[in-house]
Amino acid sequence: MLREEFNRYKQARIANQEEDADLLAEFEVWLSRKKVAHAAVQRHRQDVAPFVNAVRLLKEAATASPAARRLARFMGCWFLHQASSTDPASIKDLAASLKQFSAFLEEKGEIGADVRNDLGQTIKEAWNQ
């Protein structure tokens, strides 16, 4: 029984990793089409990689707007100040990457404009703290 559960978890994790890689590849292509410089594309991809799994949570919580807003607040505020370098330039780069990623997700139909706008507002508020 335990082994079966572990195998299901392992298969789901592999599938999630493949979905994550596909989403990041799509994001990279999307940025390239926007004529973003190659170095910037690579930086944005690296910056948003930790958030790809959160996108899955956003999709699952799509009907629960408050949950999506809480996640956006977490992504925009806590991560900007706690998980990234304290260097203001690094924080600014991460904020730009999150904005690009949210624009990509909105265009793709993964999130709504309200979630993207809330994330942008949260980033502004976090930056001003």
Q: Which residue has the higher pLDDT, 128 or 118?
A: 118
What is each CA distance from 28 to 3, 60, 118, 124, in whole angstroms?
Answer: 37, 24, 23, 25
Percent over 90 (pLDDT), the chain: 21
* Rounded-to-integer distance, Cα 101 and Cα 48, Å: 7
| Total domains, the chain | 1
d(CA 19, CA 85): 28
pLDDT tens readout for residues 82-125 = 555 567 777 778 888 888 988 998 898 888 888 788 877 877 77
Calpha distance 127→111 (Å, rounded): 23
Please give the full DSSP string across 17-71, using - where no structure is assigned.
Answer: HHHHHHHHHHHHHHHHHTT--HHHHHHHHHHHGGGHHHHHHHHHTTT-HHHHHHH
User: Looking at the whole model, is its pTM more than 0.75?
Assistant: no
* Nearest CA-CA partner of 113 in 65, 53, 49: 65
Q: Which domain holds residue 12?
A: 2-127
**Predicted pLDDT at 12:** 76
